[in-house]
Homo-oligomer: A and B are copies of this chain.
Amino acid sequence: MEYLTAIYHVRASAREIAARAEALALEQSVEMPASAIRSDYVRTHTLAKVVDIESIDEALFRVTLALSTLTTGAETGQLMNMLFGNCSLQEDVQLVDAELPPDLRRAFPGPRFGLGGIRARAGVFGRALTCTALKPQGLSPPEHAALCTIFARAGLDIIKDDHGLADQTYAPFAARVRACQRALNAVERETGRRTLYAPSLSGDPRRLAEQLRVVAGEGVGLVLAAPMIMGLPVFQALACEGFGVPVLAHPALSGALRIAPPLFFGKLFRLFGADAVIFPNFGGRFSFSRETCQALVNAARAPWVGIAPALPVPAGGMTVDRVPELVATYGSDVMLLIGGGLLSAGYALAARSEEFMAAVIAAGAAPPATTTLGSA
């Protein structure tokens, strides 16, 4: 029997924790009282086991379960179901880490391009990559294209759609993607430098297929997708064979899942095929701590047999003056995403974008700061 390991933080008293951990093992496998199991096969092959309980403080425990790999069916959605399906409904439980045995891991090829593949496409080595966002939603395709021209002339590496750009009347997907990609093609003819575009995919599988035809037809360099909005199994299947280009994963709708961000965004999004993972950086508009962000970056890039590293993308209220701090913190194997921090320059947008590039080039190549080990 092979097992995967799932680690939870469980709020309970010392008196209750042994029973609570056993109940969690039942909930995440057979979903019935152990006494009602009448099959030896079930007891041996599918029942989850409590393998460790450690006290964190008097009311919080680290509970390690061994889950049978057979129960996952080696499939993305069912793996998530086994790790956090029903117990996501129980407010005393947080999923903090998971370890997959090699046989199960081989079912998930991970990023098809990864950090190295994005660097190769962008032709950027020896420094962090730069990224910005097309926004606000409500602009027309020519207005988005005009922004692309400014950003590309400033030399930014990647321009992504705001994740709120979908297939709305004021900027339909096909018209927007054509306008933006053609603007970037024009700048490339002018400067010889190629800025890559990552449009935001959305909708059900039929609409996704239509959008991917536009992506392929226009020679678009990357795509953006929110796995929890799209559906994790859809994301994983498309990352394997459907996107055709690297995918930047966006965390929308997933931040409140009570799965530790280093595990969910760093490790599982990577496992499911994210070539880059966007996350809310510390000190911005969102609430992840510096330690959480460092652990997430470690999880995205750490050596993992058979799984390429993903490119971490700190984002969310970033500004150009933070570039040196961010490169010092994460090292240069990241992509820095500054959206509103550029756009707020108004008529000085081109100059602010050039400052961003200059700051990243000045920061150069750097290793990550030494950190305590994250949950990776």
Contact = CB atoms under 8 A, between A and B. Distances in A.
B233 A204 contact: yes
A22 interface: no
Interface stretch (A56-64, A130-138, A183-191): A130-138
A144 to B, nearest CB: 11
A168 B68 CA distance: 11
Interface string A204-237: 1111000000000000000000101111111011
A287 B80 CA distance: 21
B229 A30 contact: no
A346 interface: yes
Contacts of A39: 136, 138-139, 143
A170 to B, nearest CB: 6
Interface residues of A, number: 88
Interface stretch (A86-94, A98-106, A148-156, A358-366): A86-94
A169 interface: yes
What 8 pairs across the A-B complex have the smallest Cβ distances? A231-B231, A89-B255, A46-B138, A30-B136, A85-B252, A42-B138, A204-B237, A32-B340
Given A77-B203, A81-B202, A89-B251, 11 more contacts: A36-B340, A37-B136, A41-B138, A46-B136, A78-B164, A82-B164, A89-B254, A205-B233, A228-B228, A231-B232, A256-B258
